[in-house]
Structure 1
């Protein structure tokens, strides 16, 4: 379509709306602004304004913002351009006619990519409006609609480039739209700080290929400087390089220099060029000055080094240290150096976190300062685990956070929740156990179950079947230590966890429940087996037993979880459901850069060839997943599930299903996902805990709602024992590397 044809279509529309004399004397006084007709990605942009402004120079007569009609190619559809850059165009209206308004996926609508048009696949459907613009109640779904990448659980993009790549990966953008969009993006190229040059590793002269990255967070961990340049500048080179774009986990794109040059010729640059060399926060020279000043104040013989190693460890786990975190790392390392001196300071800082420190716990359960790693990296970088440290700690803290959210409404009906907290239910950390953010009995048991798997002798005797069979006894002993913190007598309570003063707080108000656990832990003849979703608490500690090569039991995590669960919840439904959840934690905790979303992994666990997945309970488990987890890998609107409608909210399978329903489609919206997991009838605390653990495994601690993490009681204690479990089951186990580990975690 040529510009003249586009102008003719707009002039015809102006006459239809404003009358045939729209541009004649006595008419509406409007005409097309021919000098500003412009080709845009969506087609042709045809602006119009008043004749008084365009031809007679009356500035006060201008329509502002200047309106424009997009003539879309190739179908010639007329669309009213959005007055703001990046806004979405909408189909033009004709007077006196009904119309169908587009319902665009909010993920696309909020992305600021309206300059690329409104692709058909982002339109979820249409609602009908009458001639007066009032909705009639008629709706149509778009069978070609596809759920967006964020809803599907892809990594959440941080910038325009990552947004473009993710949209293209799900078919929302054509190749041309992607190329046009790329021209307005910046990329990052690793740079040697000493020479100011790009290493040959990132530029292949033979193929004229340049490796670029979408953000500094995605740079290779060893790099601390970069060249920041916009792609339009690269496209303008005499010989534009071919780009290999790393957009983060699971997102890569190859773009030829010829493609970019041709696209840039058709859609010339409108933005200012970007072409600068910069440093990552950890390589800021001011940090060296700060380290020297801090050393002088503390009387250190020499300043600590800039936090390059810490930043590398964080980046390997998908995070980046902020400038403030870099400064706190220098401060924290300085404090630790001062505390190790023959004449240490008289006291520790009162506010550990403000000084780059965090609470650690010694073998007597007392707080000892350690370096704060902000939930972004393990400070002993020798891991050869199947799991990612950030995922393990995220899962444990997420579990505690989910329980803290659900504890206040646990066992309430949904109408009671609404009556107490309003029509939206719980919207913030509610008061439970006297204050918001208190850990509850589920988290307490999680900690002691984790202690049990660490204290089990099977880790140091991997070929000894008798050592494996001891796990049940070890679990009973750990339950006794937990009960001791709740007031039960116990002689010679050993290990560090039972000595933590803050754990000696009663969080289980039901004496009957405590008595039942005590009877089972002591193998009393009067003990009655428990049943219900609390059996699921054992899944995460059981998954930890297979973290490192050669650390699992002969029967894998299935053996571990069955031994743990059977101590208190030996019923088939509880045991099999906990087994399923443990298998689900294995891929969720992966050390890989990308952890797949629950709608994907929850189905992949099922294996028709697995002899341990047979029988009526496994049939019910499959039915539960089908009922609670939508499938996003197809066209059409996804059927997001409502947790309240999954079972009764009390049984083990129902709780598991409600946790899945709360998460599915919301894994990139952590606050919303957690609130969905607790705002329902029944067992809100355990549902929130399971959802929080699965969510935290994907996001790590930094990806959980920080306003709630900051209020979470004993957050660092939870992180501490998760780290201990991670290290214990690593190939380079603390069992062999740390003096006093056997005192910290005595056998049995």
Structure 2
């Protein structure tokens, strides 16, 4: 490997780590203040709101929620899809493997700890499902729970733009908050967009919900290659406009770009003009605005993303994914990294994702990782 290739690989690995760790940090920052109004947040924490990790309702700090949990299982599903393809020589299993990964996530929500009985099928297998911290149930979304329970695998060949088979009216932020990994696998932005959109249909059938997931994955794919956030969003809006039913997602991104371009000090009142983040396009818009408003300061972007009256952990997680992919792991506040629940597991997954796709992306058919960690689906 020549020096320029080595430098690109190092930068990519740092961005992948940054994306996943940054999302967990944003999630943990917003977790204690989710469901609180801005007035309550300011009353409890001062005019600036939270300025770092604060205790949640159980007195603990740095704890992640279902947003990070599902993101990690998305990563696992993508790695296992690649391992399956490498072993069989047949690709195209990403949607099915992601659905299986979400079934493992659903088990973490239904058991207090990893089940001890032997695996009965290919779903109850692998390393990630053995991590005790993932078994905490922290306000998972109804559509995610009910959608995964239906065990529906969307057809990746089905044209986008129509309501999906599962929860066809649901466009909650549970799609976008888990979809950054689709942009981290080295795919072209359009491929990342469509894969994320189809996988979002596992739980949410409203086009705005799955288009927001796709748009986020495409933005991450652009940023992973070193593009600016602004250019990544502009390119993604152009891509999005070719799909029927894109209008709500496109308008939300446009509002975020316009608000950031208007200048003036960023603040929570401006954030709240974009919505509360409870639905997918609003969560995406808030995250994009916060990243654009603070192009050189990860901490300020994340604090802006959580200090509002809406879905603070989800908007924090999505913003964290974005600024982490932009600046890499070295751009994340070190004190927040070390205080974030599960950071060791997150780092291992990030590195496994990076190495798996670097190796097999060059034409190798040999799986990089042992099957006991990522067995075939």
- TM-score w.r.t. the length of structure 2 is 0.81
Report if the CA contact (8 A) 1:624-1:657 is conserved.
yes
Structure 2 CA distance for aligned equivalents of residues 533 and 514 of structure 1 = 10
1:482 corresponds to: 105
1:692 corresponds to: 320
Give per-residue Cα distances to partners, 1:719-744, cap 9 Å, x unaligned: 11111111111245698556753332
Report if the CA contact (8 A) 2:99-2:148 is conserved.
no
Q: Tell me the SS of whatever aligns to 1:425.
A: coil
The counterpart of 2:146, out of the listed 516, 519, 522, is 516
Give per-residue Cα distances to partners, 1:461-518, cap 9 Å, x unaligned: 8985xx42x4333222211211222334774521111122333x32324696775255
1:27-42 aligned at under 5 Å gives the runs: none
2:305 corresponds to: 677
1:250-649 aligned at under 5 Å gives the runs: 316=7, 383=9, 388-432=12-56, 434-456=59-81, 459-460=85-86, 464=90, 467-468=91-92, 470-488=93-111, 491-492=120-121, 493-503=124-134, 505-509=135-139, 515-521=145-151, 528=167, 530-547=170-187, 556-590=191-225, 595-607=226-238, 611-612=242-243, 615-617=246-248, 619-630=250-261, 640=266, 642-649=270-277
Structure 1 gap segments, 5+ residues each: 1-219, 223-311, 318-382, 632-636
Report if the CA contact (8 A) 1:565-1:578 is conserved.
yes
The alpha-carbon deviation at position 622 of structure 1 amounts to 4.8
The alpha-carbon deviation at position 661 of structure 1 amounts to 2.0
Structure 1 CA distance for aligned equivalents of residues 199 and 245 of structure 2 = 21
The alpha-carbon deviation at position 656 of structure 1 amounts to 1.4
The alpha-carbon deviation at position 657 of structure 1 amounts to 1.5
Shift in CA distance, 645/527, structure 1 to aligned 2, threshold 3 Å: closer
2:371 corresponds to: 742
Structure 1 CA distance for aligned equivalents of residues 71 and 240 of structure 2 = 32
Report if the CA contact (8 A) 1:649-1:681 is conserved.
no
Give per-residue Cα distances to partners, 1:696-734, cap 9 Å, x unaligned: 112211211111112112212111111111111124569
Structure 2 CA distance for aligned equivalents of residues 673 and 739 of structure 1 = 36
After TM superposition, the structure 1 stretch with the greater mean CA deviation from structure 2, 690-699 or 411-420, is 411-420
Give per-residue Cα distances to partners, 1:531-581, cap 9 Å, x unaligned: 31110134212113335xxxx79x722331122101011210011111111
Report if the CA contact (8 A) 2:66-2:140 is conserved.
no
Structure 2 gap segments, 5+ residues each: 154-164
1:721 corresponds to: 349
Structure 1 CA distance for aligned equivalents of residues 196 and 141 of structure 2 = 26
Report if the CA contact (8 A) 1:646-1:654 is conserved.
yes
Structure 1 CA distance for aligned equivalents of residues 293 and 19 of structure 2 = 18
Is 1:703 paired with 2:338?
A: no
Say which structure is richer in strand: 1
Shift in CA distance, 703/512, structure 1 to aligned 2, threshold 3 Å: closer
The alpha-carbon deviation at position 689 of structure 1 amounts to 0.6
Say which structure is richer in helix: 2
Equivalent pairs counted in the alignment come to 351
Structure 1 CA distance for aligned equivalents of residues 181 and 106 of structure 2 = 18
Give per-residue Cα distances to partners, 1:175-206, cap 9 Å, x unaligned: xxxxxxxxxxxxxxxxxxxxxxxxxxxxxxxx
Give per-residue Cα distances to partners, 1:55-109, cap 9 Å, x unaligned: xxxxxxxxxxxxxxxxxxxxxxxxxxxxxxxxxxxxxxxxxxxxxxxxxxxxxxx
Q: Tell me the SS of whatever aligns to 1:721.
A: helix
Structure 2 CA distance for aligned equivalents of residues 571 and 732 of structure 1 = 34
Shift in CA distance, 650/628, structure 1 to aligned 2, threshold 3 Å: farther
Give per-residue Cα distances to partners, 1:367-418, cap 9 Å, x unaligned: xxxxxxxxxxxxxxxx5x9x71100110000000000000111122111211
Report if the CA contact (8 A) 2:166-2:202 is conserved.
no
Structure 2 CA distance for aligned equivalents of residues 491 and 722 of structure 1 = 28
Q: Give the root-mean-square deviation of aligned CA atoms.
A: 3.4
Structure 1 CA distance for aligned equivalents of residues 246 and 331 of structure 2 = 38
Report if the CA contact (8 A) 2:80-2:374 is conserved.
yes
Shift in CA distance, 613/389, structure 1 to aligned 2, threshold 3 Å: farther
